[in-house]
Amino acid sequence: MNHFLLAAALTLSAPAAMACETVAIGDLTVEHAWSKATIGAGRPGVFYVEITNTGSTDDALVGIATPAAGMPMLHETVVQDGIASMPHAMSIPVPAGQSVQLSPGGYHGMLMGLTTALKEGDSFPVTLTFEKAGEVTVNVDVLSLRAEGPDCADAGQ
């Protein structure tokens, strides 16, 4: 069933960019995975994605891994009393029946120790680890430095 969904999703989104792929694992769908071009490899890259939990059990994103970076971590941008800070997020809740976005100004993956600079038009895989659903790998599109998100026909952003 999962394979069928995956195949269907890949087929349907074939003409669009990879950021517009939808990958499913259990009750979770993972889509709109994107990143921004970096200036060199010395500064961290960023990872954004949208996760929807269509099931009736809460889950959580507990980690990310990628060959593109030696130290990928989950962070959250918090603006409190006019100060922005970026604490490490141990896990990102994906409650039953809800969607969670890793998006500019909120949760994001921080890709430290990049193996190479991320260039617009490149793509790289990121494996997401969920507390209950397990692991799933998505392809991440590198968009321009000034991009605000992938341009997908169905993207709600």
Out of 3, 15, 56, 88, point to the residue binding another protein (CB under 8 A).
Answer: 88
The residues in 98-127 that bind another protein, with binding defined as CB under 8 A, are 104-105, 108, 110-113
**Whole-angstrom distance, CA of residue 41 vs CA of residue 88:** 21
Report if residue 3 touches another protein, rule: CB under 8 A.
Answer: no
Q: Are 116 and 142 in contact (CB under 8 A)?
A: no
- Residue 30 vs 111, nearer CB to another protein: 111
Whole-number minimum distance, CB 48 to another protein, in Å? 9
Report if residue 15 touches another protein, rule: CB under 8 A.
Answer: no
Whole-number minimum distance, CB 140 to another protein, in Å? 14
- Contact residues for another protein (CB under 8 A)? 36-37, 39-40, 42-46, 71, 73, 75, 77, 79, 82-88, 104-105, 108, 110-113, 145-146, 148
